Amino acid sequence: MTEIEKMQKGKWHDANFDPELLGKRRAAEFLCFDFNHSRPESKEQFEALKKLLGGSVPEGLTLLAPVYFDYGFNTHFGENVFVNHGCYFMDGNTIDIGKNAFIGPFCGFYTSSHPLNYIDRNKGLERALPIHIGDNCWLGANVSILQGVTIGSGCVIAAGSVVTKDLPDNALAAGVPATVKKYIEQ
């Protein structure tokens, strides 16, 4: 099994020294540079985003520069998603964001983690688990979503929260770690 196959299956893999993964991250870094340094809403910016996301851009997607992706092709946006400035998508595994999501500035989506023991960590090992965000969610500024988390539809996550566990539909969550404060009547 290749390192990219291990990565996509959520297994421990060599993320730091494998030439194929290094090349894919470098390509995404160049495309992020092109996107971030193009005139907003220009053809150049759109083309960089299209390549970054693997060939298509969903209807109504608004991504404000700067934005950063580890790979790009592992992040999937629904229609009418708004992503504010400074967001980071550590997409070693899939990040699925439902339609009509509002993502505040400087949010981070972190699918990857490293071993706790330094011997394995120094080998470049990493494990990436998917993140799922439901439809009609709003993430305030500086929200961090950690690996393996599913956030239900209709959720609101307060600014500065760190989401470490799944959240059910229509939850208002806040804190570090984020906990459900109440449920939203839709």
CATH code assigned at 24: 2.160.10.10
CA distances in angstroms from 168 to 57, 107, 137, 139, 180, listed in the order given: 28, 20, 12, 15, 9
Q: Is 114 a catalytic residue?
A: yes
pLDDT of residue 84: 98
Residue with tokens 């009547």, as numbered in its chain: 185
Total count of domains within the chain: 1
pLDDT digits (tens, 9 = 90+) for 30-76: 999 999 999 999 999 999 999 999 999 999 999 999 999 999 999 99
- Output the CA torsion sign for 36, 114, 132, 71: positive
Residue of 13, 37, 76, 114 marked catalytic: 114
Mind listing the pLDDT tens digit for each residue in 103-120?
999 999 999 999 999 999
Q: 78 near 97, Cβ under 8 Å?
A: yes
Range of the domain at 125: 3-183
pLDDT per position as a tens digit, 113-158: 999 999 999 999 999 999 999 999 999 999 999 999 999 999 999 9
